Structure 1
Amino acid sequence: MTDTPPPGTHIRYDLGRADPHAFRGIGPELYRWASQALFAIVGWKVAGAYPHHDKAVILAAPHTSNWDGLWMVAAAGIYRVRLRWMGKASLARFPYGWLVRLSGLYPIDRSGGKDLVRATVDAFEASDHLQMAIAPEGTRAAVGEWKSGFYHIARLAGVPIVFAVMDYGTRTVRISGEIWPSGDYEADLAVMRSHYADARGKHAGRFSVGSGKQV
């Protein structure tokens, strides 16, 4: 990974490219082939070269359907990226914990009254490599504003926010850019919203790029 850019740095990616990461072994490669086959069958595609950051918050939106997770995980497979999503530590327990972990679960320990932001920051600090997908809406239902937890996680962990746009209008998962949090949430939010302004969710009426909501 290169030197960390200054806070507030915003980069737009070249959407004419969709370069995958390097070969990671036969298992991930079989998963990549399966993901490519799925996208070919359903008519989806990826755009934008996935960045080579060891750690990042992946801002996955719009999130209006259970199908969104499938497209996001399949896109990560095409890019040869191990994508994770956060969930309660109890989900990783016997008897189905191994299967849930295989799907990308990163169990978050919230014992001792630890809040979700702090627990997720701790997960970043304990990991050498972590690509954590977070939906800013926090729910598949219609919301008028985004929750800001993803932003505070990235800021406190010192990692970029990478924009993953799941656009049902063009049937494309776009990895469109990144921002390194400046600490001015409202200013950074305006930049982030610009990447999602034209995106359409599966249930278009449920998606909004409204103002941020504190968690």
Structure 2
Amino acid sequence: MLKNIARRLLALFGWQLIEPPQRPARAVLVGYPHTSNWDGVLALLVKLALGLDAHWVGKDSLFRWPLGGMFRRLGGIPIDRSARNGFVATMAGQFAVRREFLLVIAPEGTRSLTQGWKTGFYRIALAAEVPVALAFVDYARREAGILTHLTMTGDPATDIAAIAAHYEGRQGKYPALASPIRWLD
């Protein structure tokens, strides 16, 4: 029922849902561009419309009262961005023990302009040996969903170039805030 409601809401607001024909049971979903709080609302509708049992990473301050419990029930996983705490190994471990697991990460790490992408999603995908799904919200075309699934080669330059090619021309709500697709750390 939620799937149909989400699909109808997206259509009502003029959004087209995009998804490749094959969907792996386990993947790291990269959400780009992330330039507005509205991205989260649209991403939730896409998650419901596609019937994805996806978990998403958000800054730990989102998970405080009064909305923290609801965000956890919606698949949220808090992360303390101020400290290195073994998050990559923890998430790779989750893939090892689950037959189905979709993990959504915004590689920019913020809605603000940064100099590039954090590499956590990439390191998780390599460690867990799962593909990277390229999720998006394109305000210019009013399209949202998943562009494709890519298997990472382990060559960072090759992999980031392939990712960038797929996202070419996709625009966030505030295009000037979309970080360039290149490695930050």
TM category, shorter: 0.7 to 0.9
Paired position in structure 2 for 1:75? 46
Asked whether the equivalents of residues 59 and 78 of structure 2 are also in contact (C-alpha less than 8 Å), the reply is yes
Equivalent residue for 2:70? Answer: 99
Does residue 41 (structure 1) correspond to residue 48 (structure 2)? The answer is no
> In 2, distance between residues paired with 1:58 and 1:128?
16
Partner of 1:180: 151
**How many residue pairs get matched?**
183
Deviation, structure 1 residue 188: 0.6
Q: Give, in whole Å, the separation in 2 of the partners of 1:207 and 1:75.
A: 20
Superposition deviation, residue 131 in structure 1 = 0.8
The answer to whether residue 138 in structure 2 is matched with residue 129 in structure 1 is no
* Deviation for aligned residue 1:38: 1.6
- Higher-Rg structure is 1
Residue 26 of structure 2 corresponds to 55
TM-score, normalised to structure 1's length? 0.75
- Which secondary structure does the structure 2 equivalent of 1:146 belong to? coil
Partner Cα distance (2:127, 2:98) in 1: 14
Unaligned stretches of 5+ residues in structure 1: 1-29
**Paired-residue identity, %:** 33
- Structure 1 position 166, deviation (Å): 1.2
Q: Is the 8 A contact 1:86 1:105 kept in 2?
A: yes
Q: Which residue of 1 aligns with 2:184?
A: 213
Question: What amino acid does structure 2 have at the position aligned with 1:37?
Answer: R
User: Shift of the alpha carbon at 1:95?
Assistant: 7.8
- The C-alpha deviation readout for 1:54-78, integer Å capped at 9, x for no partner, is 2100111000011111111211211
CA distance in structure 1 between the partners assigned to 2:14 and 2:155 by the alignment: 39
CA contact (8 A) 2:46 2:145 kept: no
CA RMSD of aligned residues (A): 2.5
CA distance in 2, matches of 1:97, 1:208: 27
Q: 1:200 to 1:103 in 2, by over 3 A?
A: same
